[in-house]
Amino acid sequence: MGSNDTERSVVGWAARDSSGVLSPYTYTLRNTGPEDVFIKVLCCGICHTDLHQVKNDLGMSNYPMVPGHEVVGEVVEVGSDVTKYRAGDIVGVGVLVGCCRSCRPCQTDIEQYCNKKIWSYNDTYTDGKPTQGGFAENMIVDQKFLVKIPEGMSAEQAAPLLCAGVTVYSPLSHFGLKQSGLRGGILGLGGVGHMGVKIAKAMGHHVTVISSSDKKRVEALEHIGADEYLVSSDATRMQEAADSLDYIIDTVPVAHPLEPYLSLLKLDGKLILMGVINTPLQFVTPMLMLGRKIITGSFIGSIKETNEMLEFCKEKGLTSMIEVVKMDYVNTAFERLEKNDVRYRFVVDVAGSKLDQ
């Protein structure tokens, strides 16, 4: 790779303030090291977390901010110590680009729980330079935080798997919920939820989609492959479904009551929270105690799990349901995402967009 002293200037689309409006932004990438890979970004998925970040919903945003953490790119150059990748490889970049490498999570291949992890964007790299995401021409990423996209899997299809896919796969794997015959619930049918249905079904589970209204019933049952559809406001059906599920993956990213869903779990059932919510959630303790039920959370997945998940999706022929857009549509895409008006993931065709306009 080029000299460590050579700064590379790139164009991305950045938010400048909490309005969240993105526009062209020219900046320099961090200096490259021997284990770094320089990639040309091909496409990047839009996650609900991107919306939280550009609008400073979590109160920790730094601007200018180039979002995007479901990145698929082509390797252009590699550092002298890079052994896993070479020019021309198609690779993925997820939520993280750094970790301490010495703590227990790092030593046990669950680096997403490292207290010194470095986010793909809205963070600071070890050299003090801001990290910027995949809504840009190029990125520089340490080889440890790249995954190889399986041959035959399109870039646009792979992008949402790097966050939405592994976010579902990781807890199913960790909590011993991969065996066939289980009964699972998916609460919320968005980007993560629709992948949850597909992955759980591919594992041989009986899957119930739980939603606040009837409007996604046909899609859930006929297009995505769920076995049942449950409207949470239908008291009769909710009562009939009590004590029927081994787990529920809760993808809802806004405050909501937990008790109606805890009642659906069997003895030792697990409610797995995945939505980023910055207000307290409430429940009464007997709902847990009388069924030895568990409320837990899970955060994305490790690089190891991401590789496993990509191979699983390739083996099972799983694809995400996407709408591909150009970068000049990205602000409209964010507005539609905020209204839940996407089936089920926007993917930005970065390489095919004119980023400087």
- Residue 84's contacts (CB-CB under 8 Å, 6 or more residues apart) are 143, 146, 148
Tokens of 206: 């009986």
Band of the pLDDT at 81, cuts 50, 70, 90?
very high
Give the pLDDT confidence score for residue 3 in this predicted structure.
46
Give the pLDDT confidence score for residue 113 in this predicted structure.
98
Decide if pLDDT at 83 tops 60: yes
Instruction: Give the C-alpha separation, 302 to 308, whole Å.
Output: 10
Band of the pLDDT at 150, cuts 50, 70, 90?
very high
Band of the pLDDT at 1, cuts 50, 70, 90?
low
Chain-wide mean pLDDT for the chain? 96
Strand partners, 165: none
φ/ψ (deg, to 5) at 275 = -75, 140
Helices in 121-234 by DSSP H: which ranges? 155-158, 164-174, 191-202, 217-218
Task: Return the C-alpha torsion angle 162, 164, 166, 168, nearest 10.
Answer: 180
- Are β-strands 36-46 and 345-348 bridged in parallel, bridged antiparallel, or unpaired? antiparallel
Comparing CA positions, the residue from 120, 100, 122, 119 lying closest to residue 111 is: 100
Task: Average the pLDDT over 143-163 and give the result.
Answer: 97
In this prediction, what percent of the chain has a pLDDT beyond 90?
Answer: 93
Instruction: Answer whether the bond into residue 344 is a cis peptide, omega within 30°.
Output: yes
Task: Average the pLDDT over 159-170 and give the result.
Answer: 97
Decide if pLDDT at 7 tops 90: no
Cβ atoms of residues 300 and 170 within 8 Å:
yes
Supply angle C-alpha 39, 44, 47, rounded to 5: 140
φ/ψ (deg, to 5) at 152 = 90, -10
Decide if pLDDT at 326 tops 80: yes
Give the pLDDT confidence score for residue 357 in this predicted structure.
80
DSSP code at position 65: B
DSSP code at position 136: B
- Residue 131's contacts (CB-CB under 8 Å, 6 or more residues apart) are 97, 118, 119, 120, 121, 122, 123, 124, 125
In this prediction, what percent of the chain has a pLDDT beyond 70?
Answer: 98
Q: Measured in whole angstroms, how far is the alpha carbon of residue 266 from the centre of its chain?
A: 28
Q: pLDDT tens-digit profile of 238-281?
A: 999 999 999 999 999 889 999 999 999 999 999 999 988 889 99
Give the pLDDT confidence score for residue 147 in this predicted structure.
98
Band of the pLDDT at 2, cuts 50, 70, 90?
low
Q: pLDDT tens-digit profile of 10-30?
A: 999 999 999 999 999 999 999
Instruction: Give the C-alpha separation, 349 to 324, whole Å.
Output: 6
Tokens of 276: 């980023």
Cβ atoms of residues 149 and 91 within 8 Å:
yes
Comparing CA positions, the residue from 241, 223, 224 lying closest to residue 232 is: 241
- Residue 281's contacts (CB-CB under 8 Å, 6 or more residues apart) are 255, 256, 257, 258, 273
Decide if pLDDT at 5 tops 60: no
φ/ψ (deg, to 5) at 217 = -60, -50
Q: pLDDT tens-digit profile of 54-79?
A: 999 989 999 999 999 999 999 999 99
